[in-house]
Amino acid sequence: MNHSAISLLWMKGKLPMKDGIYFADGRSIACSLGINPHIELTVNDSFSLQDFLVKSPFDFTTINILNETYHEDNQCFYTLGKGSNGSEGFVASLAPDRRLIWVAFFANSESFVEMSCDENILYADSSSGVHLQFPLHDPELCSLAFT
């Protein structure tokens, strides 16, 4: 079985140090999460993770899963946590066998520590006050969630 670059990194407990939404099928979409002076999220264009890793082969973080839930309707696990450099956070969707489906990584979000899920949306909250919502089947349509 061929694994994408992001799937291989995930299996090693690592993620690239580049804001983005990464899919196990190899797609990558750049994002930008600004924190100061106010929280702002922009979803940009697709990019090549392979090219990024060639240019920056050591630019990754080790991840620590802090919370996990299983969504019975979708038969998926949702996890969130932090990176080893201190300021990063991530939100991920996993298949029942724990293979990566997608992961969103943000270098300046701080740890994602809380989540809730309804039938179509995953809500994730970071320790720095970032509140995001991810459509379960279209995470690239993520946006700020206002609580």
Domain map (residue ranges) of the chain: 5-144
- Residues 6 or more apart whose CB falls under 8 angstroms from that of 82 comprise 63, 64, 66, 88, 89, 90, 110, 111, 112
Tell me the pLDDT of the chain averaged across its residues.
94
Q: What's the mean pLDDT in 79-103? A: 96
* 18, two tokens: 């580049």
> What is the structure's pLDDT at 37?
83
Strand order in the sheet with 112-117: 112-117, 121-126, 131-135, 143-144
> What is the structure's pLDDT at 60?
93
Statement: residue 5 has pLDDT above 70: yes
* 69, two tokens: 């839930």
Statement: residue 36 has pLDDT above 90: no
> What is the structure's pLDDT at 94?
97
Please tell me the distance from the alpha carbon of residue 17 to that of residue 132, in angstroms, as a whole number: 19
Query: Rounded to the nearest 5 degrees, what angle is found at the Cα of 41, between the Cα atoms of 119 and 34?
Result: 135
Q: What's the mean pLDDT in 48-65? A: 95
pLDDT in tens, 104-125: 999 999 999 999 998 899 999 9
